[in-house]
Amino acid sequence: MELKRVVVTGLGALTPVGNNVAETWDNLVKGVSGAGPITHFDASKFKTHFACEVKNFNGTDYIDRKELRKMDLYTQYAIAAAKEAVEDSGMDLEKEDLNRIGVIYGVGIGGIHTFEEEVANYTLNKDTVGPKFNPFFIPKMIADIASGQISIMYGFHGPNFTTTSACASSSNAIADAFNYIRLGKANVIVAGGAEAAIFEAGLGGFNAMHALSTRNDDPERASRPFSASRDGFVMGEGAGCLILEELEHAKKRGAKIYAEIVGYGQSADAYDMVAPDPEGNGAIKSMELALADAGLKPEDIDYINPHGTSTGLGDVAESQAIAKIFGDKDQNKNLVVSSTKSMHGHMLGATGAVEGIVCVKAITDGKVPPTINLDNQDEHVANLDYVPHKARDKKVGAALSNSFGFGGHNATLVFKAV
């Protein structure tokens, strides 16, 4: 069976550095940090007081007010990014076979804020008025509801489900969408991820693990991938969405084509619940499988957007894994690696989709965003070109994106110029 080719024909983003793709990309290229004091709740009693929040978001700009109250914030974010991507794709839905359009969206946690609110309300009232829950509690909270709500909004009857693999969730969603289309099971899939976990339980849980930066006096410089002075990741939130489409279908309708998705790799560390394999074996396998699937050699990759979270163990293991496959900057002078988490933070279940968009934009615009805050490179990370501080003009013919999640889930995507 001959596999079909799959291209990207639409992009949508809602991030801590921009409420659409254009704003997000512009600020990433400028090296703007999205970090600041938490506004969603009073974080003063927590170890960490800051995060990379979405700014000036108004759900009614995207969703009818009556429907909005039925949705957790993460679903609202998902819909916002999906609407931009669908509009950007230029599809005339009246002419499309909606049975051949699907939605696959990733989320790491889901409706954690809804869960918090409902449990708090129950605890407060159980001894006076008895158990009292909102009738929308379960459908607001469950992780699969974002993909369901997007399909309801547009009437998309194709494959519809959610991938949950922690911080690899939306990369796995894109990989699954890629497979469904190249196997001929759909013409178009709305693929991406969303997360909105910057609330008490999310922040407190990650603080308890000692996973977050506590650089409260300097939030904008707290996310410092590959830096010797890094002290943990910075929580982010938002959504990213890519319209994946079968190449001939896209050409037939005269769609603009951003890039082609040509391969993916998936693996498990099978090592620890939260720590990466220190030898980077799972990351190596994921990248090797992605290259093989894409039919590319290591020297064909011009840019890597790494997982690059700014954690002590993760940055070392991943960078050394990259160097083992691609060579360090003395051996491979073409390859550049930059972590945009230094600006938008770790968007958890949304991060793979947003970083996939970054790879696509690097290909189309010939620019690579920087790794900001890299003042003093850790001697233990591999000697790679991390594009410190300032964006760089560079022709990118092929780009690779890594996403690694708690539980040892590894996912790698490869995008290529058409």
pTM of the model as a whole? 0.97
- The DSSP output letter for 4 is P
pLDDT in tens, 123-153: 988 888 778 899 999 999 999 999 999 999 9
pLDDT in tens, 303-331: 999 999 999 999 999 999 999 999 999 99
Q: Which two tokens stand for residue 50?
A: 């800051």
Q: Which of 227, 237, 324, 334 is nearest to 282 (CA)?
A: 324
Is 162:144 a contact under the CB 8 Å cutoff? yes
| Exposed / middle / buried, residue 300 (Cβ in 10 Å: 0-12, 13-18, 19+) | middle
Is 332:339 a contact under the CB 8 Å cutoff? no
Strands (E), 211-345: 238-246, 259-268, 303-305, 336-337
What pLDDT is attached to residue 132? 86
What pLDDT is attached to residue 170? 98
Phi, then psi, of 95 in degrees rounded to 5: -105, -5
Interatomic CA distance for residues 396 and 386, integer angstroms: 15
Q: Which residues are part of the catalytic machinery?
A: 167, 307, 346
pLDDT in tens, 221-258: 999 999 999 999 999 999 999 999 999 999 999 999 99
